[in-house]
Amino acid sequence: MDLWDEIFDLDDKSKEELEAKYTEWREVEPRLDEGVDELVMHIEAMKGISDESMLIYKEVKEIKIRYKQQKDEIQAKIDALNKEKARM
């Protein structure tokens, strides 16, 4: 599998995992319908958020961080290969 394919595959997996988590989150946090960014700002201001909602918020954050790290690792491999090709 090509490294770019791995990145696209990670994007797809990330979207699937986040959509599942957002569906779960909507059940406990009606403000999610206002938009994810708006809810994140609300949560970070710590105004009336349930413990369950905070837990899911933290899980969503961890999912995003994990996929970003994996994509960054693959991108570093791509960059290294491109530098190697440029030297030749």
- Chain segment 2-15, per-residue pLDDT in tens: 888 888 898 999 99
Per-residue pLDDT, 1: 57
- Measured over the CA atoms of residue 72, residue 77, residue 82 and residue 87, the dihedral's sign is positive
As a whole number of angstroms, the distance between CA 58 and CA 53 comes to 9
Q: Spell out the residues 6+ positions from residue 87 whose beta carbon is closer than 8 angstroms to its own.
A: none
Tell me the residue range of the domain where 73 lies. Answer: 3-87
Residue 71 has pLDDT above 60, yes or no: yes
Average pLDDT, the chain: 83
Residue 70 has pLDDT above 60, yes or no: yes
pTM for this predicted structure: 0.61
As a whole number of angstroms, the distance between CA 72 and CA 60 comes to 18
Instruction: Domain count for the chain, please give it.
Output: 1
